[in-house]
Amino acid sequence: NWDLILYVNLELVNKMSNRRFIVKDMLGQGTFGQVVKCWDTETNDYVAVKVIKNQPAFYHQAIMEVSLLRTLNQKFDPDDKHNIVRMLDYLSFQNHLCIAFEMLGQNLYELLKRNQLRGLKVKYVRAFSKQILDAMVVMRDAGIIHCDLKPENILLAPSVATAAAVKVIDFGSACLEGKTVYSYIQSRYYRYTTAIDMWSFGCIVAELFIGLPLFPGASEYDVLQRMMTILGGQPPDDLLREAKDTGRFFKHVGSIFPGSEAPDGIPSAYRFLSEEEIETRESKRPKVGKWYFPRLKLDRLIYNYPWNNSELTETEETDRLALVDFLKGLLEFDPNKRWSPVQA
Ligand code: ATP
Ligand code: MG
Ligand code: MG
């Protein structure tokens, strides 16, 4: 109920604190503003403050970020056990909404870069995946879709004992499930669910292992083509029938099973267009930069990584087979068949 949300958000604005922070250093930059390291003179501790751009649209979106995070922190994770960043305070400074967070470490993209983009050991991929999933189960329970899960939005947290720990940050693009603005006028496939986060999560897990984005396309066409090569097939017909951009990438060639999903082995009603056929506003010859990234099916991609025919130990072999199986459950085109966080 949007009225209720706005009401609650207004109340949030009224509850704004007037705490002062001393800016010490720059931590990061994003679409919504800058994140700075600050000294909090009240608690005598460092905090990370996200200073939102001083335009109304950003301001309102950030109020939503505060609102969703407050719900997640207080109602769904009161004891800070589920790997979600803690919001400490928020205030308005010269029309910049400022949100104070606990200080965390590097983000996972920085971690991958530090490792020359060669990927992490399976034990870290597994540990981080578990922790991200833990956060996603909580988000699912709260009906909150993150909408922007990516390595830059997963941060290393102070380690628990000796184990590495991560936390999910940046709820600046998040929304409530089933309450997206257009949901009631659109067909079921545009009703975003937390399944979109699971797809992103699948991409993150693969990237943590390989060190490079799984679908590094330079154009939407290229990304789609890579998805189909890696996942071994195109999205199911009933998904293509409802998707709003199908016509940009597929030609409808007719089905002998109109109105229903074609059974296995029956040709699809849609043919993927060739690069010459697409009507394009994007660059036709996608460049993937200096990345060497073979167009292989997912199992080969993971199993043979780093693609130099080296021998695998028995543990490595088991780990990789399990990873492929795991990724297949996440990178499922049909959101209704895709694993839920609990299943994963
Ligand atoms: P995006 O472009 O992803 O939407 P954004 O503007 O919403 O970014 P955030 O993702 O919240 O901003 O923060 C930007 C960057 O600042 C992060 O990727 C991270 O490197 C750093 N950062 C954010 N929060 C913290 C924190 N609590 N502790 C340390 N660094 C942080
Ligand atoms: Mg971010
Ligand atoms: Mg953001």
Q: What is the DSSP letter of 334?
A: S
Selection from 133, 208, 138, 131 nearest residue 165 by Cα: 131
Question: Residue 109's pLDDT is what?
Answer: 96
**CA gyration radius for the chain?**
22
Query: Closest residue (by CA) to atom 28 of ligand 1?
Result: 104
Residue 186 or residue 208, greater confidence = 208
* Cβ-proximal residues to 268 (8 Å cutoff; 6+ apart), any chain: 234, 237, 240, 255, 262
Quote the ligand 2 centre to 107 CA distance (angstroms). Answer: 10
Residue 316 or residue 256, greater confidence = 316
% residues pLDDT > 70 (the chain)? 85
Residue 210 near ligand 1, beta carbon < 6 Å: no
**Nearest-atom index, ligand 1, CA of 172:** 7
Of 65-69, 126-130, 169-173, 219-223, least confident by mean pLDDT is 219-223
Quote the ligand 3 centre to 31 CA distance (angstroms). Answer: 6
Measured between its terminal Cα atoms, the distance across the chain in Å is: 30
Catalytic, 148? Answer yes
Looking at the predicted structure, is the pLDDT value of residue 95 above 50?
yes
Please count the other Cβ atoms lying within 10 Å of the Cβ belonging to residue 9: 15
| Average pLDDT over all residues of the chain | 87
Question: Residue 275's pLDDT is what?
Answer: 86
Instruction: Give the mean pLDDT of 84-98.
Output: 94
* Cβ-proximal residues to 85 (8 Å cutoff; 6+ apart), any chain: 69, 101, 102, 104, 155, 167, 168, 169
Cα–Cα distance measured from residue 154 to residue 87, given in angstroms and rounded to the nearest whole number: 15
Question: Residue 72's pLDDT is what?
Answer: 97
Residue 213 near ligand 1, beta carbon < 6 Å: no
Q: ipTM exceeding 0.90?
A: yes
Quote the ligand 1 centre to 100 CA distance (angstroms). Answer: 11
pLDDT tens digits, one per residue of 3-56: 555 566 667 777 778 888 999 999 998 889 999 999 999 999 999 999 999 998
CB 246 within 8 A of CB 268: no
Question: Residue 1's pLDDT is what?
Answer: 47
pLDDT tens digits, one per residue of 108-163: 999 999 998 899 999 999 999 999 999 999 999 999 999 999 999 999 998 766 77
Q: Report residue 227: phi and psi, to 5°.
A: -55, -45
Please count the other Cβ atoms lying within 10 Å of the Cβ belonging to residue 20: 12
Confidence of residue 219 (pLDDT cuts 50, 70, 90): confident
* Cβ-proximal residues to 254 (8 Å cutoff; 6+ apart), any chain: 269
Q: Ligand 3 is a single-atom ion; what residues have CB below 5 A from it?
A: 170, 172
Confidence of residue 81 (pLDDT cuts 50, 70, 90): very high
Residue 234 or residue 260, greater confidence = 234
Residue 84 near ligand 1, beta carbon < 6 Å: no
Residue 235 near ligand 1, beta carbon < 6 Å: no
Specify the amino acid at residue 238: D
Selection from 203, 202, 208 nearest residue 122 by Cα: 208
Report how far Cα 117 is from the mean position of its chain's Cα atoms.
Answer: 19
